[in-house]
A = this chain, B = another copy of it.
Amino acid sequence: MTSPKVDVFQAIADPTRRKLLRLIDDREMAVTAISGHFPISRTAVSKHLRILADAGLVKERKVGRETRYRFEPEPLLELKRWLAYFDRFWDNKLSVLQHYVESDGSASTPSPARLQASTDKEKKE
């Protein structure tokens, strides 16, 4: 449910799992069909899918003798939220890159740009 056994950051850390998500993001697929796209064993792919499922990023459905997986986007919102915290850093200097990234055309809301503190050693909680 909302208490995933696997952290989404952990789940997407592996490049194979990222490819897995991209592969099935527009259609449900069975394990063998999926594993055909990877140079590792079907069993290994199956384990990756299990990890993704534990993170809530895919859902499995049994159909006859196969197990089909489909993509679930919801857990990515945690990532998005985490990333959103850093939005204030994408100011002038990185705006060009930012624009490239935000290819949907929505402009960024101007945020107070951060300044570099040189001598400040304050700590906070």
Instruction: Write out the residue numbers on chain B whose beta carbons fall within 8 Å of the beta carbon of A40.
Output: none
Cα-based distance from A28 to B90 in the complex (angstroms): 18
Question: A117: which of B9, B28, B105 is its contact (CB, 8 Å)?
Answer: B28
Count of chain A residues with a beta carbon within 8 Å of a chain B beta carbon: 62
Q: A109 to B105, Cβ gap below 8 A? A: yes
Instruction: Write out the residue numbers on chain B whose beta carbons fall within 8 Å of the beta carbon of A71.
Output: 89
Report the minimal beta-carbon distance from A22 to chain B, rounded to whole angstroms. 8
Cα-based distance from A104 to B108 in the complex (angstroms): 8
Cα-based distance from A87 to B15 in the complex (angstroms): 20
Q: A104 to B114, Cβ gap below 8 A? A: no
Q: A124 to B73, Cβ gap below 8 A? A: no
Q: Which of A85-123 contact B (CB under 8 A)?
A: 85-87, 89-90, 94, 97-98, 100-109, 111, 114, 116-123
10 A-B pairs with least C-beta separation: A13-B13, A73-B89, A104-B109, A27-B117, A81-B101, A106-B109, A80-B101, A27-B120, A9-B13, A77-B97
